């Protein structure tokens, strides 16, 4: 068991909160409550100064720009972080580059990593090995999620049920139906466009071939 020293406690504990998508932010409130609840875990371990970084709500941990993660790394490099606290490794990073960068920085300045399972010191070989395995499993898990999602999309495409986007002025409703936007102004604009197209189009096979096309 890694001991939390006075040196760690003299610096702050930084709780990193992240959810991968805006849909999760809107609907998965329990996950967010668990993550914010880590403030109490940090205080139970002895930290009086606890800071929450939640700038990355709605951002993937797979390598996209994450201002919250960058803020965390900067604070670690400045020597202000005694522990990084997160529910699990996947909240901190879903790719090897970010994960191992975090481990290197924490190891250099003596910052602990805390999750719901335990307290780890990246300077200790055994802890470093375990953290490395956790990061690898998190990255692999994301790859499996992507593969399953891609296969599901392919199956829908084979059935002719895949709609990645619909034309402007239309909406995808329940049961994969495509309907006009309920906004009357949008409907009128679509109707006008089709009406004008019918009035002004010239068939290339009509008797007007060779004649100049009238400009509206």
Quickly list H helices, the chain: 6-10, 22-27, 29-36, 38-44, 67-77, 89-92, 96-109, 125-158, 184-200
Would residue 65 show up in a list of annotated catalytic residues for this protein?
no
**Given 3, 6, 10, 20, the catalytic residue:** 20
Q: Is residue 182 classed exposed, middle or buried when 0-12, 13-18 and 19+ CB atoms within 10 A define those classes?
A: exposed
Cα separation, 212 vs 198, in Å, equals 18
Q: In the 8-state DSSP scheme, what is residue 52?
A: E
**Which structure tokens are listed for 8?**
């760690």
Helix axis angle for 96-109 and 125-158, nearest 10°, is 160
122's CB contacts (< 8 A; 6+ apart) are 103, 104, 106, 107, 111, 113, 128, 131
Cα separation, 44 vs 103, in Å, equals 24
**Catalytically annotated residues:** 20
């Amino acid at each position: 068991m890694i001991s939390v020293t006075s040196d760690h406690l003299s610096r702050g504990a930084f709780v990193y909160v992240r959810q991968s998508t805006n849909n999760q932010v809107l609907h998965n409130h329990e996950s967010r409550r668990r993550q914010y609840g880590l403030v109490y875990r940090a205080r139970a371990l002895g930290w009086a100064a606890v800071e929450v970084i939640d700038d990355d709500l709605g951002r993937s941990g797979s390598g996209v720009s994450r201002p919250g993660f960058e803020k965390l790394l900067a604070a670690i490099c400045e020597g202000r972080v005694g522990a990084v606290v997160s529910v699990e490794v996947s909240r901190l990073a879903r790719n090897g580059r970010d994960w191992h960068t975090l481990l290197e920085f924490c190891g250099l300045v003596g910052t602990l990593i805390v999750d719901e399972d335990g307290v780890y010191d990246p300077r200790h070989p055994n802890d470093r090995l375990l953290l490395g395995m956790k990061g690898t499993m998190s990255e692999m898990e994301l790859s499996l999620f992507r593969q399953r999602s891609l296969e599901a999309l392919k199956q829908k495409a084979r059935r002719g049920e895949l709609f990645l986007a619909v034309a402007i002025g239309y909406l995808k409703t329940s049961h994969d139906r495509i309907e006009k936007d309920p906004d009357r102004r949008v409907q009128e604009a679509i109707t006008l466009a089709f009406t004008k197209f019918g009035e002004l189009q010239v068939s290339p096979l009509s008797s007007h071939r060779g004649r100049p096309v009238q400009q509206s």
